[in-house]
Chains A and B, each alone.
Chain A
Amino acid sequence: KAGVTQTPRYLIKTRGQQVTLSCSPISGHRSVSWYQQTPGQGLQFLFEYFSETQRNKGNFPGRFSGRQFSNSRSEMNVSTLELGDSALYLCASSPYRRDSKNIQYFGAGTRLSVL
């Protein structure tokens, strides 16, 4: 079974631009979460989608948004990029469970550099 696929792997943007990152979850997984990873802040939760609905959201400004499609693929968008948005953006998928056994499987990430 293929793992979580994120595209592109690397991006270079300039301040003020916007960017869209893509994530294809593991087949059959309906939950997709996004995280930002930086050396200073570590892994920080952005948001989580399930059945095309955002279920959870982290403490990020409204410039960060996402969506999920009917095939569970997800995109996240960052508008008006700032230098501090430079980070590794990780996508993770999980199978649906009613309990809290939430094993998230991560992709390799998209490395975003804002100049």
Chain B
Amino acid sequence: GESVGLHLPTLSVQEGDNSIINCAYSNSASDYFIWYKQESGKGPQFIIDIRSNMDKRQGQRVTVLLNKTVKHLSLQIAATQPGDSAVYFCAENRGGSNYKLTFGKGTLLTVNP
């Protein structure tokens, strides 16, 4: 099976709460990670990325944390909004200029008003 997987297939939160979506990977050679958001009827949309030489990276309302010791990646969304409802995927690039991304199964985030 895929080495990139998600702990929870679904996550339901209240509007305004913070959301945390988790991802595990098993390939130590992975050096680059991306989070994508996919809304119904659309292709995946880039959210944020992080290199393996970093532990944390922040964007607008989103933060990605990387723990290489336990091979764990998380996406934190602050003040979650109804527009954040979507499926979230983590993806890894397994070293070098290999343009093959390996995706996790996805987590469905539902934001309740």
Contacts and interface: CB of A to CB of B under 8 A. Distances in A.
Interface of A: 4, 31, 33, 35, 42-45, 48, 50, 55-56, 58, 90, 92, 94, 97-109
Nearest to B30: A100
Contacts of B45: 106
Given A43-B44, A108-B41, A108-B42, A100 B100 contact: no
Interface of B: 2, 31-32, 34, 36, 41-46, 49, 51, 89, 91, 93, 95-106
Contacts of B51: 100-101
Contact of A103 (B43, B46, B97, B102): B46
B99 A90 contact: no
B49 A101 contact: yes
A48 B43 CA distance: 17
A7 to B, nearest CB: 13
B46 A56 contact: no
Contacts of A106: 36, 43-45
A42 B105 contact: yes
Contacts of B95: 100
Contacts of A105: 46
